[in-house]
Amino acid sequence: MESSALLTAWKRDPGLEFLSEVSSVPLQQALRHLQAAFANFFAKRAKYPTFKSRKKSRASAEYTRSAFRWRDGTLTLAKMDAPLDIVWSRPLPEGAQPSTVTVSKDAAGRWFVSLLVEETIRPFDPVDACVGVDAGITSLLTLSTGEKITNPRHERADRRRLAKAQRNLSRTAKGSNNRAKARLKVARMYARITDRRRDFLHKLTTRLVRENQTVVIEDLTVRNLVKNHALARAVSDASWRELRSMLEYKTAWYGRELLVVDRWFPSSKLCSTCGALRAAMPLGVRIWECACGAVHDRDVNAARNILAAGLAER
């Protein structure tokens, strides 16, 4: 690759001195990622690679086994005299040896170290329970058991402070130190919202997967839902797409089954008792009575129908 051969010359360029601050390994890895991105583009598997700004993009460096030392739970990177001072989020699996280390810095100024290891995940013990899940706004999830999980609305809780921080940012002069401080404050608020939301979703999805052998969800088109300006903010805050992604890989990890019901399935309009289908069901109707006499909570009824439809399509 021609760019790889030019790497030595780039390090001598007066405007690119920062390339010499790190080991050559992460630089070579970046070039490999670039090559893979262009290969995927020319093979029509991906869009044209986007420019990664050193200042605006998430800073990251990938170290392969030859560029770091892992010994007795300490990590030392190439060109460093002492191990990194790391607060570990969780211990590595016993006997695991990292094959790749990625160091990154997010927009909020926080540094992270990710270690790639091989791990054998033990599946959960089989259970008999199955659950249907209906996603919503007021209740983030409604289960076929009748349980409703309240939407924490993490973004809404910090909306006033976030708006104030964004107004302060807009008043600062471009390129000034005050603007950099204001931008960092906004980034930290977004990071707080994201971290709280992700923590809540992890705990919720792990609980669903642990307690149920089969989880049935509806195939929601989040991309289309966020086009509705009245719902876009609430839908984004609910983060249904991330919730589904977590359910997908956790069910695969722990030996569970995830079933997805077609998005056009009329889960809300169908009576879960007799199977009668109502002609219409406005969003304002939360409780309704079927001709058979059954009185339904809209969301609980939908979750039960989703469960029945998923199990029927096995």
Q: What is the pLDDT of residues 21-54, one digit of tens each?
A: 888 899 899 889 888 999 999 999 999 998 887 6
User: Residue-wise pLDDT tens for the chain (314 aa)?
Assistant: 567 777 888 888 888 888 888 888 998 998 898 889 999 999 999 999 988 876 767 788 999 999 999 998 899 999 999 999 999 998 888 888 999 999 999 989 999 999 999 988 899 999 999 999 999 988 999 999 999 999 999 998 899 999 999 999 999 999 899 999 999 999 999 999 999 999 999 999 999 999 999 999 999 888 878 787 877 888 888 899 999 999 999 999 999 999 999 989 999 999 999 999 988 888 888 998 998 999 999 999 999 999 999 999 87
Burial class from Cβ neighbours inside 10 Å (0-12, 13-18, 19+) for residue 44 reads: exposed
Q: At what angle do helices 240-253 and 177-211 cross, to 10 degrees?
A: 50
Cα distance between residue 244 and residue 5, in whole Å: 43
Cα distance between residue 303 and residue 147, in whole Å: 10
Q: Exactly one of 62, 134, 155, 237 is catalytic; which is it?
A: 134
Judge whether 199 counts as a catalytic residue. no
Judge whether 134 counts as a catalytic residue. yes
Domain residue extents for the chain = 2-116, 130-152+196-312
Cα distance between residue 147 and residue 79, in whole Å: 54
- The model's pLDDT over 75-84, given as tens digits with 9 standing for 90+, comes to 999 999 999 9
**Pair of tokens at residue 296:** 């339904």
Which among 210, 207, 248 has a CA at the least distance from the CA of 127?
210
Judge whether 125 counts as a catalytic residue. no
- Top-tier CATH class for 130-152+196-312: alpha beta
Which among 91, 90, 124, 309 has a CA at the least distance from the CA of 218?
309
Q: Exactly one of 62, 155, 218, 237 is catalytic; which is it?
A: 218
Q: Exactly one of 62, 155, 237, 299 is catalytic; which is it?
A: 299
